[in-house]
Structure 1
Amino acid sequence: MQVLHSVDDPAIPELLDRGEFFWLKLHGCSNEQIADVGQRFGLHPLAIEDSQEFGQRPKLDDYGTTALLVFYGIEPDGRPVEVHFHVSGQWMITLHHGLHELLHAAQERIVRETPKTEEEAIYRVLDALTDSFFPVLDGVDDRIDELMDAMLEKPSQDQREDLFHLRRKLIELRRIATPQRDILARGGDILGRLPGLEADDARDWFRDVYDHLVRISELIDSYRDLLSGALDLYLSTVSNRLNAISKQLTVVATIFLPLTFVTGFFGQNFGTLVRHINTPAAFWGYGVGSMVLSALALLWFFRRQGILSDE
């Protein structure tokens, strides 16, 4: 199987005459070039129009002898990669913007190990795009674990922002993965009905991609639940720290309450106080001593009641 990169490649007419399946891998095409590709390969006008407007949702359109599949992969940095597949029994045309390692890896695998059937060739490209979700999801899982461990130590505003960022990323992944899963649930039959792709094992190849997409959807849902739990943990940790600070302030205020009373009492101009508290011993004994005793008594009471415990 040959992988070509130009619609003007002189090998295309020869491959079409021999009925040999090939992959035309195009990137960065203008609308005029896409229209030219459609005219040369007899693509449906609606398929040409869809490929001229990127930003499509994942879908599979059946046009009888050809089909248009809009499929996504994920770059390691989390950016989605939109690929338009035009498929027939004689060729597979992919249109995308930019140079992506995902399709390059699929191309290397096809060149290294020649597919035995057309269905296997299509499967390898779809499989490379589908499997690109797993490293990104593994990174999300590791980041959630890191955030949860850090929040138990010391919660911060940055951690909450990271949680919301991960939540947005999972929503974007789910917006892509769920439609692709639904497409492959029935898409294998549609692709398998195209002339030249009626092999008995077509459904098996596409079912494998579907199984991976089901697993991806389940992982996304489970990580969304983990994020909800992590946010609850953040709020609970912040609340517990606030309660601990409030308890400490309450203890300090309560200790100063009798001290304020003692200083206010001895600050009155009663004759008994004036005549008897007139030496350093009386000052330290009655004045300071009563305040220290009241503070120690309150501390003993708080410990006995478990108020100063860490629980």
Structure 2
Amino acid sequence: MAKNAAEYRKRFMPFKRTKPGIGAEHYVAHGRRPTIRGRLTQFGFGACLSHKLLHISDPTLPVQLNVFTYDENSYTEGKYKNVADIPTVPFAPMTPMTWIDVDGIHDHEIISAIGDRYDIHSLVQTDITTSEQRTKLDVLDDALFLVCKLIYRDMDRTGQIITEQISCYLKDNLLITFQETPKDLFDSIKNRIRQGKGRIRKSKVDYLFYSLLDVIVDHYMDVLDTLGTTVEEIDNQLMKKLKRDTLESIYDMKRDMLYLRSIISPLKEIIIKLQKEEETQIMQESTNIYLKDLFDHIVQVNDSIDTYREMLASFIDFYMMLNSNAMNQVVKTLTMISTIFIPLTFISSIYGMNFDNIPELRYKYAYFIVLAAMAALATLMLLCFKRKHWF
């Protein structure tokens, strides 16, 4: 099994790329029972999966609206507390692109105000404020709505892995993103808008939408690289010392991988759907080539997860084999001891019988002769065991 695990690791390892929730409050506000994952892993304001994947946010923080309005020649940026303060931009083919980045989804009044102003359906608003949504893409009459999970390493929390829901509403020249926390992992995108670098300001808002997805997938790769290091550590630990904690770590990792696959795997079908013009007319043909590249990265992420799951399954088999071998060694040792003492017990039982006439009992050196015979017999049996490589 160890050989199989090594072969998996040698055959495929994920490549590297440079580059918390309102669940508890939602359950209190709406009286909804937590999901299975929530019940098993509840922690703080959200959920923690195997003490590695953390789902956190602070509902006491105010919601902040970060608004970028840009075209090829200029851009404006503003931070607002109220939806009414956001400047009105008419939707027309030549108008600038607008990106509204909402930090915080716990204030239902603000989400409702955004929905009223930008004609977002009430069911979509409910999906935005529910942080335990599955990864999905809804194609509406004149808009796209995407829900996915952003997973990243929070270096402020000693490298813990954080999961956060991201919702994107794409319509005409408008993109609205909803994040659970003010921790902004899209700074690189915002800096490219500010500095006019790359294709974002030269392209429609659908390219900005792709760029955000690309950042999310980059973080998937970074997290998988971290989890891959953990898998390597488990492999090394298996070879050094057999401990029950190792088996628990393996099962925790398997559960983490299963959760990661459940939130990442749907992105494959979503990217395919985005590339179909009859499905999503908002996406430009010029963006399709970038979506194909993104699709390849998602496939490699899923392949990485599958490979790690196979390795972890082989680790479990290997652990069971090591445990079985250890038990066999104990049984073998006990068997050899029992085998040696069977003839010795037989000899001692003969001279322990209650007969009046046992000639050897009256012989002066009988006791020492019997002890020598028993020692010789035990030595002979040990030599036989050694010759057969039993120890």
* AA of the residue aligned to 2:152: E
Aligned residue among 83, 91, 112 for 2:174: 91
Alignment of 1:133-152 (within 5 A): 133-152=220-239
Aligned to 1:239: 324
Aligned to 1:208: 293
* AA of the residue aligned to 1:185: I
What do residues 195-254 of structure 1 show as CA deviations (whole Å, max 9, x unaligned)?
Answer: xx53x3121222222221111111111111111111111111111111111111111111
Given the superposition, is the C-alpha separation of residues 121 and 158 from structure 1 closer, same or farther in structure 2, using an over 3 Å criterion? same
Given the superposition, is the C-alpha separation of residues 19 and 28 from structure 1 closer, same or farther in structure 2, using an over 3 Å criterion? same
Q: Is the Cα contact below 8 Å between 1:5 and 1:24 reproduced in 2?
A: no
* AA of the residue aligned to 1:23: W
Alignment of 1:170-209 (within 5 A): 170-189=257-276, 193-194=281-282, 197-198=283-284, 200-209=285-294
Given the superposition, is the C-alpha separation of residues 295 and 133 from structure 1 closer, same or farther in structure 2, using an over 3 Å criterion? same
Q: TM-score, normalised by structure 1?
A: 0.87
**Residue 220 in 1 paired to residue 305 in 2?**
yes
Give, in whole Å, the separation in 2 of the partners of 1:292 and 1:40: 97
The structure that is strand-richer by fraction is 2
What do residues 85-112 of structure 1 show as CA deviations (whole Å, max 9, x unaligned)?
Answer: 0112312111121133433444345444
Alignment of 1:100-139 (within 5 A): 100-112=183-195, 113=197, 115=200, 116-117=202-203, 118-139=205-226
Given the superposition, is the C-alpha separation of residues 182 and 289 from structure 1 closer, same or farther in structure 2, using an over 3 Å criterion? same
Structure 2 residue matching 1:168: 3-state secondary structure: helix
Q: TM-score, normalised by structure 2?
A: 0.70
Give, in whole Å, the separation in 2 of the partners of 1:97 and 1:288: 82
Aligned to 1:13: 88
Aligned to 1:162: 249
**1:37: Cα distance to partner?**
0.5
Give, in whole Å, the separation in 2 of the partners of 1:111 and 1:168: 41
**1:142: Cα distance to partner?**
2.1
Structure 2 residue matching 1:13: 3-state secondary structure: coil
Aligned residue among 164, 176, 179 for 1:81: 164
**1:53: Cα distance to partner?**
2.6
Give, in whole Å, the separation in 2 of the partners of 1:90 and 1:165: 44
Select the structure with the greater relative contact order (CA < 8 A; seq sep ≥ 6).
2
Given the superposition, is the C-alpha separation of residues 306 and 232 from structure 1 closer, same or farther in structure 2, using an over 3 Å criterion? same
**Residue 301 in 1 paired to residue 388 in 2?**
no
Q: Unaligned 5+ residue runs, structure 1?
A: none
Larger radius of gyration: 1
**Which stretch shifts more, 211-220 or 169-178?**
211-220
Structure 1 residue matching 2:141: 3-state secondary structure: coil
Aligned residue among 3, 9, 31 for 2:108: 31
Q: Is the Cα contact below 8 Å between 1:71 and 1:83 reproduced in 2?
A: yes
**1:152: Cα distance to partner?**
2.4
Question: What RMSD over aligned residues (CA atoms) do the two structures have, in Å?
Answer: 2.4
* AA of the residue aligned to 2:170: V
Give, in whole Å, the separation in 1 of the partners of 2:345 and 2:334: 16
Report how many residues are paired: 301
Aligned to 1:47: 124
Give, in whole Å, the separation in 1 of the partners of 2:358 and 2:329: 45
* AA of the residue aligned to 1:243: N
Q: Is the Cα contact below 8 Å between 1:5 and 1:25 reproduced in 2?
A: no
* AA of the residue aligned to 1:203: N
**1:123: Cα distance to partner?**
1.7
Q: Is the Cα contact below 8 Å between 2:83 and 2:113 reproduced in 1?
A: no
**1:186: Cα distance to partner?**
1.2
Given the superposition, is the C-alpha separation of residues 4 and 59 from structure 1 closer, same or farther in structure 2, using an over 3 Å criterion? farther
Give, in whole Å, the separation in 1 of the partners of 2:374 and 2:84: 97
Q: Is the Cα contact below 8 Å between 1:27 and 1:95 reproduced in 2?
A: yes
